[in-house]
Amino acid sequence: MNTLSVGAQIAGFLISVIFSMYIGVVIIRLLLGFARADFHNPLSQMVVKVTNPVLVPLRRFIPAVGKIDTAAVLLAFSLTILKVILLSVVGYYSITNLPHLLVFSVGDYIKAIIYIYLFALIIHAVITWIGTPHGNPFVPLLKSITNPIVNPIRKFVPMVGVMDFSPLVAILLLNVLLIIVTNIFK
């Protein structure tokens, strides 16, 4: 039996969706930069347009470290902490102290990254198996994001005919990682 009021459930849902969507876009920008994706792609341009108003001022104070956009990392993590705090206020979580808040937020942040990889792998698989990937602006971005995970697996999982099972193996491994992260960062 759920003890949250209808208003608290609606507030929690809206907080979760709005924050998760923006955090996801920031993480996608981080992953696209890390993968050196084509930022002339129309979908990349959309991600840049949505994240630039916050990231550009942050970059004045927080420089990148190698290929890692530390401003994007900090922004996504800060928003994750704020999301967890707000969800605690409406009663979704019972965060008791600052260390618990930080541990829970780290877990939520890692799970968001895993989910983005999972969705990217699944969407890429569906597009390549069912649709025509040629000319679709989404496909190069998906490949950019997923190749760092799938390419090492391809060394151990050979192609079977024309079927590449490395994305399936990556999906399985990411789900195992998701289970581990969920149980560690409670």
Q: What is the pTM for the complete model shown?
A: 0.87
* Residue of higher predicted confidence among 109 and 163: 109
Residue 132 has pLDDT above 80, yes or no: no
131 torsion bin: left (phi>0), alpha (psi -120 to 50), beta (else): beta
| Mean per-residue pLDDT, 93-114 | 90
The Cα–Cα gap between 110 and 125 comes to 23
Q: Point out the least confidently predicted range of 31-35, 107-111, 114-118, 130-134.
A: 130-134
Phi/psi at 159 (5° precision): -70, 145
**Strand, helix or coil for residue 163:** strand
The Cα–Cα gap between 109 and 139 comes to 25
* Residue of higher predicted confidence among 124 and 173: 173
SS3 for 28-91 is HHHHHHHCCCCCCCHHHHHHHHHHHHHHHHHHCCCCCECCECHHHHHHHHHHHHHHHHHHHHCC
Q: What is the pLDDT of residue 133?
A: 62
* Residue of higher predicted confidence among 126 and 170: 170
Q: What is the pLDDT of residue 164?
A: 79
For residue range 32-80, list pLDDT tens digits in order.
Answer: 888 888 888 888 889 999 999 999 999 999 988 887 889 999 999 999 9
Q: What is the pLDDT of residue 1?
A: 41
> Can you give the residue ranges of every domain in the chain?
6-184
Q: What is the pLDDT of residue 16?
A: 94
The alpha carbons of the chain give a radius of gyration, in whole angstroms, of 18
User: Mean pLDDT of all residues in the chain?
Assistant: 88
Q: Point out the least confidently predicted range of 16-30, 57-71, 83-97, 120-134.
A: 120-134
Q: What is the pLDDT of residue 2?
A: 58
